Structure 1
């Protein structure tokens, strides 16, 4: 049975926060596995940090192409990182792993009518494996993650924290603290391996802290600072830890913004325009793809 985060929208903040924190650690990637990825050499034998980040960017492109939610993308990244942290994956299998994690997240988060066929996902992403390969890999991923799919991600914490702050500040401040902008920034952070080792709750708090800091440079909003301090106290986060992660977030967003529209919350949905001839070639090419080599199930 797939483990899920139960709906807690109508519950008090303290109850919702405790429910998320109780599950947070159990759904984090193993640090030992992440360190192995971090130390991997770029020799084609092991997945590296660079390859992981490229794969996450591909998943973000697919998310935009299909118009899927931020929740789907965040969950897909969580599944990918957790799996990579417990299994030895060769680079040639990474695209299959990534697409399967994405497909699991789509089926868990999106409405059933919006879930694409596996064959369409393969064709659009231009991957060189079959539906059979994908179904086999999906089964491996679910088994290795013990069917614990619906993880408490940084997005859950970010939305919860934002809702609390909205209730504590005036209408003018609410306009400034834009949740769409914050979610767009979180997507940028997901594309950087450095945040795989940071707790989702701390990452969410750091995003808010950076946003409040930037708002204070433009205008004095003491209510926002007070609300943020209250959140920090609720999470028992030290000032030094928050400052360190906030600096990492700021650096990441600056680098990410140079090549993407991450900081523009109203960016239009990505559209891929192809000719009829190209579409026919894509369709036919799928049946010519050789099966993916056997995937060894080697744990760290």
Structure 2
């Protein structure tokens, strides 16, 4: 009696099809249509009057932590941020609805990409029940209509395998580069300055930053970095100077993020020492406290 399913709790991913990555037409098709899914214009200056960049970052960080908590597939978060940015570029939105919008975007992206989509109940729980399931479902239709039901957006993750397939590295090395690149892409999605960058440029910049960061020989990094940048630019038909600028911005973003993380960790340690075991009565039970956005 061993005829029971051992795959019930496992997430099975399809193996990469080499025919897709060997056919240059697939990459060319992605490059041709990627601009359709990029917000047109800086919406903080042109559209949004009540929402500021720091609010978007707080909600993006909350969305990322929800994905990490629920162990979502890596492409759920970038896709959800694409929905959020496209919506904000088209619809003036009050800041009190920003977390609701973020939850709806996660809801939709998980339906499209996740093997086990996020439930409305769980998303409401992660907002500390500041939204209801009814609001989530109502706003789902609003977002769908504003995005014209065009949800199969192209994100930087769609370009990773096409780029890595053309790099001269062994498979074990590529696996490490892939992991670091995915982290960089998620980090870029939390920063509004990358909102209008083409997904292919973000992907190539993240791959370049990952490879250079993993180089053991720092003495030859400048020479290797230039050669790598030229190769990446050739793969995705990007201008070398633009790609260099994007990669430098990604590396600076990583540096700033690490500094902020260290400062927050230090403040938490100091707070624990001063409290001596006492807990505040007003703590949020969401992964990131975004209540300031709703005030």
**TM band (smaller chain):** 0.7 to 0.9
Measure how far apart 1:9 and its partner are.
Answer: 6.2
Measure how far apart 1:245 and its partner are.
Answer: 1.0
Give runs of ≥4 in structure 1 deviating > 4 Å: 170-173, 219-228
Distance 2:245 2:45 in 1: 19
Residue 19 of structure 1 corresponds to: 29
Residue 249 of structure 1 corresponds to: 250
RMSD between superposed Cα atoms in Å: 2.8
Unaligned runs of at least 5 residues, structure 1: 1-6, 262-281, 283-291, 293-300
Specify which of 132, 135, 138 is matched with residue 133 of structure 1.
135
Matched, 1:236 2:237: yes
Question: 1:169–1:224: 8 Å Cα contact kept in structure 2?
Answer: no
Specify which of 38, 51, 55 is matched with residue 51 of structure 1.
55
Measure how far apart 1:153 and its partner are.
Answer: 0.2
Measure how far apart 1:191 and its partner are.
Answer: 1.0
Matched, 1:105 2:105: no
Distance 1:49 1:101 in 2: 18
22-31 or 207-216: bigger deviation: 207-216
Query: What is the TM-score normalised by the length of structure 2?
Result: 0.74
Unaligned runs of at least 5 residues, structure 2: 1-15, 263-284, 286-293
Residue 179 of structure 1 corresponds to: 178
Residue 280 of structure 2 corresponds to: none
Q: What are the residue-to-residue correspondences of 1:1-300 with 2, within 5 Å?
A: 10-11=19-20, 12-36=22-46, 46-111=50-115, 114-165=116-167, 168-170=168-170, 174=174, 177-214=176-213, 215=215, 217-218=217-218, 229-260=230-261
Distance 1:234 1:224 in 2: 15
Distance 2:113 2:198 in 1: 22
- SS for the counterpart of 2:165 is helix
